[in-house]
Structure 1
Amino acid sequence: MSQTASLLATLKRQLRAQGKTYADVARWLDLSEASVKRLFAERHLTLARLECICGHLGMELFELTQMMQAEMHRLQQLTHTQEQRIADDRELFLVAVCVLNGYSFDDIHRQYQLSEAQCTTHLLVLEKLGLIELLPGNRIKRRVAANFRWRPGGPIQQFFQAHIAGDFFRSRFEADSEKLVVLNGLLSRAGNQEWQQIVQRLAKEFHALCEREQVLPITQRFGTTSVLAVRQWQHGLFQNYAR
């Protein structure tokens, strides 16, 4: 990713974090919302306009640049061996998921049957793996990038498919906090790729929403899992009819 793209990605994260939209930016710059969307899409924001947006976000342009540089040095993915280390230890896996979701040390200790010593031990392992930095007072600083993800087909994904996927779908999805949408249709290869890009944007929106709600107490938030999947696939029931 180019530095311009990285800078604008950092800017968009700051906008989302403060609950601002393209409509707000359009008002600040005295432009139409469509023009603002085009400027971001084409990466044609001038320094003057960047400074204007930063000013409305309560920061200087150099602070935005520093945020971008810090983000670029954050961890984007673990190695296969590192993921396997987490997948092989259920308690470590639990703590890893908690810290990636913004839990504090006290949140983990209070919500799960882990002693302070156990929590500390697991957090030190995660620190060695580069996921976090354990600060004085048991404060946890995440060191993962906004686009951090588990390895496709890696140990964590395999663990999910083997142990969690079945339990996840063992629901009628009728509660207010649940929804299951299954879509089926015919797409070209180009259409399939376009839909995958839309799914990826939905994933970014999900992470952005999680970031915005980090200011809320942990007691007002609950674990929410969303599975977004795209496959060129046909149920085995119809395999015998294939030509």
Structure 2
Amino acid sequence: MSQVGCLIDTLKRQLRAQGKTYADVAQWLGLSEASVKRLFAEKHFTLARLECICDQLNIEFAELVQAMQAEELRPQQLTQAQEQSIVDDRELFLVAVCVVNGYSFDEIHHQYQLSETECTRQLLKLERLKLIELLPGNRIRRRVAANFRWRSGGPIQQFFQTYIANEFFRSRFDGESEQLLVLNGLLSRAGNDEWQQIMQRLAKEFHALCERESSFPLHKRFGTTSVLAVRQWKYALFQDYTRQLDHS
């Protein structure tokens, strides 16, 4: 991503942190909300508009740049060894997933059968793994990037595929908060690449939505898992009937 794109993403996080919306920005800039959404989508701001927004947020433009640079230094993934150490300790795994999803110390302690001492012990392990920083008063500060994700094919993703996937799909997906879409079609390699880019944008939208709602009390939020997957694949049931075509 370009530095301009990173700067705009940092600006969006500053807006969310202060509870501001596109409607607020539209009022500050004297534009329609649709125009502001387009500016953010296209990441196309004049310096004057950026300075205006910073003034309204009571931050210096230089502070915005510093926040962007600090975010760029945060790791987007853990190492293979770090993930393995988390998977090997079930309680540590539970606490790690909680902090990645923005849980506070009290929320972890009250929602799960972990004593305050055990909670603290696991959080200190995560601090040694550089996933978080444990601050006075048991406040948790994540030390990873906003777009943090588990390693592709890494220990945690493998754990999910082995132990959780079957349970996840053991549902009719007809509940109020459930939906399952299975899409099948024919795409070229270029079309497949474009669809994967769309999936990446959806993933960013999901994380942005989680961040926007992070100020809601825990009892108004619930665990939500969305699986986005794509692969060149044919049903094994029909494999014996498939002709082997020459694609050279």
Residue 195 of structure 1 is matched in structure 2 by 195
Q: Give the counterpart letter for 2:145 in structure 1.
A: A
Residue 87 of structure 1 is matched in structure 2 by 87
Distance 1:34-1:192 versus aligned 2 partners, 3 A rule: farther
Residue 180 of structure 1 pairs with residue 180 of structure 2? yes
Residue 168 of structure 1 is matched in structure 2 by 168
Residue 217 of structure 1 is matched in structure 2 by 217
Rounded Cα–Cα distance in structure 2 between residues aligned with 1:138 and 1:176: 36
| Partner secondary structure for residue 140 of structure 1 | strand
Residue 230 of structure 1 is matched in structure 2 by 230
Residue 157 of structure 1 is matched in structure 2 by 157
Provide the TM-score with structure 1 as the length reference: 0.90
Is the 8 Å Cα contact of residues 19 and 212 (structure 1) preserved in structure 2? no
Structure 2 residue runs without a partner (length 5+): 244-248
How far is the alpha carbon of 1:228 from its aligned partner? Answer: 0.8
Is the 8 Å Cα contact of residues 109 and 119 (structure 1) preserved in structure 2? yes
**Whose relative contact order is higher, 1 or 2, with alpha carbons under 8 Å and at least 6 apart?**
1
Rounded Cα–Cα distance in structure 2 between residues aligned with 1:205 and 1:186: 26
Is the 8 Å Cα contact of residues 75 and 144 (structure 1) preserved in structure 2? yes
| Partner secondary structure for residue 194 of structure 2 | helix
Residue 112 of structure 1 is matched in structure 2 by 112
Q: Give the counterpart letter for 1:88 in structure 2.
A: D
| Partner secondary structure for residue 103 of structure 1 | coil
Q: Give the counterpart letter for 1:114 in structure 2.
A: L
How far is the alpha carbon of 1:186 from its aligned partner? Answer: 1.1
Residue 20 of structure 1 is matched in structure 2 by 21
How many equivalent residue pairs?
A: 242
Distance 1:105-1:190 versus aligned 2 partners, 3 A rule: same
Distance 1:7-1:148 versus aligned 2 partners, 3 A rule: same
Give per-residue Cα distances to partners, 1:98-130, cap 9 Å, x unaligned.
Answer: 111111111111111112221111111100111
Farther off after superposition, 173-182 or 46-55 = 46-55
| Partner secondary structure for residue 64 of structure 1 | helix
Residue 8 of structure 1 pairs with residue 8 of structure 2? yes
Distance 1:126-1:5 versus aligned 2 partners, 3 A rule: same
Is the 8 Å Cα contact of residues 77 and 150 (structure 1) preserved in structure 2? yes
How far is the alpha carbon of 1:82 from its aligned partner? Answer: 0.6
How far is the alpha carbon of 1:218 from its aligned partner? Answer: 1.1
| Partner secondary structure for residue 133 of structure 1 | strand
Rounded Cα–Cα distance in structure 1 between residues aligned with 2:27 and 2:115: 51
Rounded Cα–Cα distance in structure 1 between residues aligned with 2:187 and 2:211: 33
How far is the alpha carbon of 1:187 from its aligned partner? Answer: 1.1
Among all aligned residue pairs of Structure 1 and Structure 2, give the percentage whose two residues are the same amino acid. 74
Rounded Cα–Cα distance in structure 1 between residues aligned with 2:38 and 2:218: 37
Residue 75 of structure 1 pairs with residue 75 of structure 2? yes
Rounded Cα–Cα distance in structure 2 between residues aligned with 1:44 and 1:95: 39
| Partner secondary structure for residue 134 of structure 2 | strand
Rounded Cα–Cα distance in structure 2 between residues aligned with 1:37 and 1:103: 29
Structure 1 residue runs without a partner (length 5+): none
Give per-residue Cα distances to partners, 1:37-68, cap 9 Å, x unaligned.
Answer: 67556655332121012233443312212221
Is the 8 Å Cα contact of residues 75 and 130 (structure 1) preserved in structure 2? no
How far is the alpha carbon of 1:34 from its aligned partner? Answer: 7.4
Farther off after superposition, 9-18 or 64-73 = 9-18
How far is the alpha carbon of 1:71 from its aligned partner? Answer: 0.9
Rounded Cα–Cα distance in structure 2 between residues aligned with 1:209 and 1:58: 24
Rounded Cα–Cα distance in structure 2 between residues aligned with 1:39 and 1:107: 37
Rounded Cα–Cα distance in structure 2 between residues aligned with 1:28 and 1:134: 37
